[in-house]
Amino acid sequence: MIIFQRMREYDYEELVFFQDRSTNLQAIVAIHNTTLGPALGGCRFWHYTSERAAIDDVLRLARGMTYKASVAGLNLGGGKSVIIGNPKTHKTEALLHAFGRFIHTLKGRYIVAEDVGTDTADMAIIHRETRHVVGLQTARSGSGDPSPVTAYGVLHGMKACTKSVFNKTNLGGLTVAIQGAGHVGCNLAKYLATEGARIIITDIYKKNAQQVVNEFGAEYVEPEKIYSAKCDVFSPCALGGILDDKNIRKLKCAIVAGSANNQLKADRHGDLLEQHGILYAPDYVINAGGLINVAQELRGYNRSHALHKAARIYNAIARVINIAREERIPTYVAADRMAERRIERAKKTRTVHGARSRALVRQIYT
């Protein structure tokens, strides 16, 4: 009954459990909402402390994908999957084959992609068992590394924020503090350097940050000092949950705009940013470039088309800001409302959308 209560809270459609004794596979798929189309979301391979933790994570992530796809203007629903175990020791080719067979039984209602603990090579193995997979290697007509497109979307979302705050979309002369020098952070730094922005960088692995310093003339600061760095834009591109009471008080910026998922420790921290006069670009809106990128594989991948659609994140962030101002609500609430309104409009023509979704699945997978 606890599981059904959780599902009823945000109206989840399905929560499916898979196990395969021979490979020690334990996996869960959550499908939140398919009003706009088949659910698409990554597979997270993680050593969860309990089954409950795995269920909580997959439900939260699946709902987030519904909202991300909606505000990105994609005709896709939200879903996610998790495999319980340490990917460094537990992952085997046989296990991924078993997982792929289970995904195939869902008949295209859920399309899997890479996430934490999985990569394009894993998707290639899963693809041997099911066509319901994206995020494949470029050698297999896939989209490959999504980081450049994710960063490109963040760049354009950032420009929508600077237009609102500073009345300028050119980032030249502005200072951006990037937390995290991983794939997305490095690509974002490259775009910012081209724009002529001043870059401050940090990473828990100093070697990664040093690469950005060497290539783009960025200034390095220690990880704990990034929050208090004087800048125009603070860009979290690493861990989630970093915008809490303590760190928000340290911020010396006008805008928070980055690629990290679940940046707000709790919803009330979105309110706190508003109270401090800091414009927050909701994470699932500004970081949708990765989803946009893999979604392009469904009709035949084209990098230029993916970048073009990721650039539209500028418009999505601008709409969020307008809704927030008109309705006098924080931007994180405005983003949810924008996503929910698109889904509600689609529900009114659900028969039409359902027919289109089924036709899309048949076109792609048969």
Of residues 362, 199, 159, the one with CA closest to residue 279: 159
* Single-letter residue type at 205: Y
Q: Are strands 25-33 and 14-20 parallel, antiparallel or unpaired?
A: antiparallel
* H-helix or E-strand spanning residue 314: helix 313-327
Place of tokens 């048969």: 366
**Catalytic: which of 68, 80, 265, 309?**
80
Domains of the chain: 2-65+77-140 (3.40.50.10860), 147-341 (3.40.50.720)
Q: List the structure tokens of 232.
A: 């125009």
How much of the chain exceeds pLDDT 90, in percent? 88
SS3 content of the chain, % helix, strand, coil (to 5): 50, 15, 30
> In the annotation, is 80 catalytic?
yes
DSSP state of 297: G
Burial class of residue 190 (count of CB atoms within 10 Å of its CB; 0-12, 13-18, 19+)? middle
Which residues have C-beta within 8 Å of that of residue 210, sequence separation ≥ 6?
A: 220
Q: What is the largest CA-CA distance in the chain?
A: 60
- Its pTM stands at 0.87
DSSP state of 223: G
37-93, pLDDT tens digit by residue?
Answer: 999 999 999 999 999 999 999 999 999 999 999 999 999 999 999 999 999 999 999
Gap between the Cα atoms of 85 and 94, Å rounded: 14
94-149, pLDDT tens digit by residue?
Answer: 999 999 999 999 999 999 999 989 998 999 999 999 999 999 987 677 888 889 99
Burial class of residue 262 (count of CB atoms within 10 Å of its CB; 0-12, 13-18, 19+)? middle
